[in-house]
């Protein structure tokens, strides 16, 4: 995993990529946001958010780590 890519876990299964982008965008420019799905197209409860730089990813992690989201 690259240093500018964050692993987000314990997400509600109803979370969308757009909602994650809205949450993370204030902390830096996002290049990729992905929520893996199973064979039935159901979210697996985790995601990856990739930023332009490691500094932006670190800023997002410091601001949002251990915070509640949709829960």
Q: How many CA atoms lie within 13 A of 62 on its CB side?
A: 8
Which pLDDT score, from 0 to 100, does residue 55 have? 96
pTM score, whole prediction: 0.90
Check residue 3 and give its pLDDT.
81
Q: What band does 71 get if pLDDT is binned at 50, 70 and 90? A: confident
How many residues are there in the chain? Answer: 71
**pLDDT per residue over 1-59, tens digit each?**
578 999 999 999 999 999 999 999 999 999 999 999 999 999 999 999 999 999 999 99
Containing 5, the helix (H) or strand (E) segment is: strand 5-8
């Amino acid at each position: 995993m690259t240093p500018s890519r964050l692993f987000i876990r314990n997400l509600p299964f109803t979370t969308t990529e757009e909602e994650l982008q809205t949450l993370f965008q204030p902390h830096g420019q996002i290049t990729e946001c992905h929520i893996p799905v199973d064979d039935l197209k159901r979210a697996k409860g985790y995601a990856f958010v990739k930023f332009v730089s490691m500094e932006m990813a670190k800023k997002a992690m410091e601001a949002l780590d251990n915070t509640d989201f949709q829960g």
